[in-house]
Amino acid sequence: MITEQASRTPVGSWTVHAVTVSPEAGAPEGRPTVVMVHGLGMSARSLLPTARLLARDFRVVLPELPGNGRSTRPADVLDVPALADALVDWMDRVGLPSAVLVGHSLGSQVAVHAAGRHPDRVTALVLVSPSRDPLINTPWKKALRLLLDGPRESPKLLPVAVVDYLRAGPIRMWRTLRASLETDPIRTLGRVRQPTLVVRGDRDLLVSPWWARTICAVVGDGRVATVTDGPHGLPFSTPADLTRAIMPFLRDYPGLLS
């Protein structure tokens, strides 16, 4: 059995909404907290199916980044480095010294920046459907491929995405997307020294096999896992397959599973 609890935490002038999913008896002693970071315009709801499976072994926390979900919408749109800093500021406020970061899509970019900018706060990285593929290098290309990906996802994801996108607002999402493409992905990845797993669905239109391999070649310690018949939205559409891809990585990393 698992428990789910929502919280709202003041972080500077913002309030960050988060959902914590954990074993009813508590996570085994010594295991790190897993923090899952959602994608563009999305909320914790897009990650809950996978979080509930990971919570058999870990305490899993799903913060909603400023401007998304039920968190505060800053007047200015935050770029990726600012979102990464906001994530670490939230970790400070909730008393979380370090965590395994599991980022999805744009959340992977946020997780990578957090690992590079605050290396002592990130134990390991899991990059699920990581965005910023240089082969898809314009907002219009990404938006079109995201639209084409829709029919490949679980039908239950559509109402979640519609509500989350409306809540985030199309203008904020567009500006965030444009800002995300202004980063230098190779340079940013070059700062990562944490063990890193890249998980890509083989039907993902937004992440090429080349990009998944390139990430692993650039980071200090990387490996790739592929989800068969997996679309872009792996955490919601194929949670069991994604969890099976993640757990061997966590088992192989010393100290994460005992």
Q: pTM of the predicted model, to two decimals?
A: 0.95
pLDDT at 257: 58
11 has pLDDT over 90: yes
Helix (H) / strand (E) element for 16: namely strand 14-23
Q: Crossing angle of helices 106-117/80-93, nearest 10°?
A: 70
**How far is Cα 7 from Cα 11, in angstroms, rounded to an integer?**
13
Domain parsing of the chain, residue ranges? 2-252
pLDDT at 256: 60
Residue type at position 236: F
pLDDT at 139: 79
**How far is Cα 121 from Cα 114, in angstroms, rounded to an integer?**
8
**How far is Cα 39 from Cα 89, in angstroms, rounded to an integer?**
19
Please give the structure tokens belonging to residue 18: 């988060």
pLDDT at 255: 57
Residue type at position 119: P
**How far is Cα 21 from Cα 58, in angstroms, rounded to an integer?**
9
Q: CATH number of the domain at 2-252, out of 3.40.50.150, 3.40.50.620, 3.40.50.300, 3.40.50.1820?
A: 3.40.50.1820
pLDDT tens-digit series, residues 187-211: 999 999 999 999 999 999 999 999 9
pLDDT at 4: 96
45 has pLDDT over 90: yes
30 has pLDDT over 80: no
pLDDT tens-digit series, residues 212-249: 999 999 998 899 999 999 999 999 999 999 999 999 99
Who contacts 75 (Cβ-Cβ below 8 Å, separation ≥6)? none
pLDDT tens-digit series, residues 82-118: 999 999 999 999 999 999 999 999 999 999 999 999 9
pLDDT at 146: 81
pLDDT tens-digit series, residues 145-165: 888 888 899 999 999 999 999
Question: What is the pLDDT of the chain when averaged over all its residues?
Answer: 93
β-strand partners of 128: 104, 199
34 has pLDDT over 70: yes
